[in-house]
Each structure stands twice: as structure tokens, then as C-alpha cells.
Amino acid sequence: MEFNFSALPWQIIFGAGALQQLPAELDRRGYHKALVLSTPEQRHHAEAARDLIATRCAGIFDQAVMHVPIQTVTEAQTLAVAVQADCTVSIGGGSTTGLGKALALKSGLPNIAIPTTYAGSEMTNVWGITEGGRKTTGRDNRVVPTFAIYDPELTLDLPAAISGPSGINAMAQAVVNVTAAKPNPIISALALDGIRALAVSLPQIIEQPRNLEARTQALYGACLCGAALGVGITGLHHRLCHTLGGSFNTSHADTHAILLAYSVAYNSQAVFEGTNRVAHAMGCEEAARGIWDLLHVVSTKTNLRDLGLSEADLATAADIATETACLNPRPVTRQDVLELLTVAFNGELPRSL
């Protein structure tokens, strides 16, 4: 066995009710003026955080949106300067975490992340900002949150329509690393337990959305899967998701959830052992089929047609996705991508094409 491994500077506080620790954690680190970030839909979560940290709150910015538009970053930055914020607290899903990361990148403001979906962004050093209709992403350790508070109680009201796809989005981060051409054993250990926890808990959440134990397992799984991406790699799967999200504005989590079974099937012969390990972690016979079955249990959107794409879009997407080389265990051609997208468009059973 031979490998290199470097961790990111993670600090995690995890547990039901963990949000209550926010004031003491801010004090411990000497932060006195936090700007709380949220989406408009989660203003109530931002207000709860504000009430909790009381005089340590410098204000609320509730305009976070998907894909971190530069205009939003600039507006939040202007407010942060006006209220003399010394840190930001992102309470929400990947869109809100993403805004906190962008501010950390652009103005050096430390970010505290309180994730309320399974996006896992708080465990990665990946940032993204959209400018002029183009999303630029990069890796930079400065965007890793100073600390993250995972409180499963905040996820009890996450709608089923978001919970299922968001959970499979997290699984994707782990699956691509277990099925890498040269998997790293430490990353695989994190990833496999994350896959297991999500495979068990997501169907339970659909049955009983307010089941705290299932919510706890899912959030734990998302944390591990995010960690796997944070120190790991991406491949064809993420290339396809970013192409569809970036060029056709498809929902991030739904796109991941629909495509994962097909991208796993595509690579399955090239990375046979890793694919079997994913199946074993999920407790199923075959990984791609197991992911496809899970999708049909936890989401009503099961094919690319459901995301509003047309058949004509697939050829354009195949062109864009293969404009530059993609690091992937199995070589990628435009024709392969078009076939994969066509099968996913029709929601057919995944097969090794």
C-alpha cells in the first residue's frame, strides 16, 4: 500500500442541539460582530441564530442564492464592511455556505458554517462564484470554515423533495472517490461510512421526515462524504453535473441524484473493486442499480426530462462536457457522454455502456 494524505483544517461540533454552542464558540475565538447569512427562505433560521448570539450579531444578509452570483457577494461584502463584521455565520444549504466561502476568499472574513442540507460544502476547500453567466470554481484552504456546527434538529423540516436528492448529492462526493482510478485508503474509509449512513437513513427520512435519529445519520453521512470530496478528487460525474447546472441551470442536487447511477455504471468495469465496495456499503448487489433504486425511493425526479431538459440539449451538453479532457478512470468521448445522457434523459436502468 502506498499513499499520501493531507487533511484540511476541519473543526466540527456535531450533535442534536449543537447550535446552542454557537455563542460560546464565538467568544472562545474572539469574534464579536458576526454577519449571519441565509437564503430568503431560511430567514427564520438566521433570526434564530441572531437571537441566540444576541449582541455578537452585527446583522443579517438573507439574499444567498444558488451558484453564488458575484452581485450577491458584492452586496454582502458591502454590508459586512458597513457593519464592521469580524466573521460570517452561514446557516443554510450549499448556497449559503458558498456565499460565506466567497466572502472568505474575497475579503478574508472567517466563516462559520451551520449546514442544514446534505450538500457537504462546509467540509471542502472548493469555492464557486458565478459572473457573466459563467461559474468559476477553485480550491483554496482559506475558504474552509473556521468551524462547522452540525445540528440535526435544524434539518427536521427540510422537505422530502430536497432531502433525498441532497443526500444522494453527498453520496456522489464519496462514490467518485471510492471508485477513483487510484483510491486513497483514508479517503475511502471516510467515504464508505458516509455512503452506508446515507443509504440507510434517506429512505427512513422519506417515511418519517422528523425522525431525529435518521436525520442525525444523514447529516453524519453528509459530513463524511463532504470530507471525502474535500481531500479527494472529482471525475466524469462532477463534470456532467457542472455542465448541466452551469449551462442549463438544472437544480444542483437533483442533477447529481439523477446522474450518479449512470456515471457509476459507466466506470464500473474500469474500477470493478471500488464499485463493489460501494455496493457493499449500500447493502445491495450492484452499485449502479442500488443507487438507481435508492433514487426511486427518495425522489420524484428520476430522469433528466424531469429537470426540464430537451433531447436537443443533450448534444450541446455533450459538446461542452468534452471541450477539455476529464480525469476519469475510464476514458471519456463525446459519443460516450451523449449515450450516457440519453439513457439518463429517458430514466432507463443504468448499464455499462
Question: Strands 134-139 and 126-131, how do they pair?
Answer: antiparallel
To the nearest whole angstrom, how small is the minimum distance from the Cβ of residue 111 to ligand NAD? 12
Residue with Cβ nearer ligand NAD (68 or 80):
68
d(CA 113, CA 103): 12
Residue 126 pairs in a beta bridge with: 139
State which residue has the least CB distance to ligand NAD.
Answer: 94
Between 128 and 194, whose beta carbon lies closer to ligand NAD?
128
CA–CA gap between residue 180 and residue 197 (Å, rounded):
20
CB of 296 to ligand NAD, least distance (A): 20
Minimum separation from the CB atom of position 81 to ligand NAD (A): 24
* For ligand NAD, the closer CB: 117 or 217: 117
Least separation in angstroms between residue 340's CB and ligand NAD is: 21
Cβ nearer to ligand NAD, comparing 46 with 309:
46
CB of 348 to ligand NAD, least distance (A): 25
Q: Which of 201, 294, 221, 299 is CA-nearest to residue 254?
A: 299
Q: Which three cell numbers stand for residue 71?
A: 452581485
**What's the CA gap between 188 and 275, in Å, rounded?**
12
Question: Nearest approach, Cβ of 219 to ligand NAD (angstroms)?
Answer: 10
Query: Which C-beta is closer to ligand NAD: that of 205 or that of 265?
Result: 205
Q: Minimum Å distance from CB 157 to ligand NAD?
A: 5
Residue 128 backbone phi and psi in degrees, to 5 = -145, 140
What is the nearest approach in angstroms of ligand NAD to the Cβ of residue 273?
26
Beta carbon nearer to ligand NAD, 161 or 186: 161
**Nearest to ligand NAD of 66, 315 (CB atom):** 66
Q: Which is nearer to ligand NAD, 256 or 289 (CB)?
A: 256
Interface with ligand NAD (CB under 6 A): 39, 41-42, 66-67, 92-96, 98, 116-117, 119-121, 124, 126, 128, 154-155, 157-158, 162, 166, 252-253
124 versus 250: smaller Cβ distance to ligand NAD: 124
- Least distance to ligand NAD from the beta carbon of 320, Å? 17
Three-state SS string across the chain, please? CCCCCCCCCCCEEECCCHHHHHHHHHHHHCCCCEEEECCHHHHHHHHHHHHHHHHHEEEEECCCCCCCEHHHHHHHHHHHHHCCCCEEEEEECHHHHHHHHHHHHHHCCCEEEEECCCCCHHHCCEEEEEECCEEEEEECHHHCCCEEEECHHHHCCCCHHHHHHHHHHHHHHHHHHHCCCCCCHHHHHHHHHHHHHHHHHHHHHHHCCCCHHHHHHHHHHHHHHHHHHHHCCCCHHHHHHHHHHHHHCCCHHHHHHHHHHHHHHHHCCCCHHHHHHHHHHHCCCCHHHHHHHHHHHHCCCCCHHHHCCCHHHHHHHHHHHCCCCCCCCCCCCHHHHHHHHHHHHHCCCCCCC
Nearer Cβ to ligand NAD (187/279)? 187
* Shortest Å, Cβ 2 to ligand NAD: 27
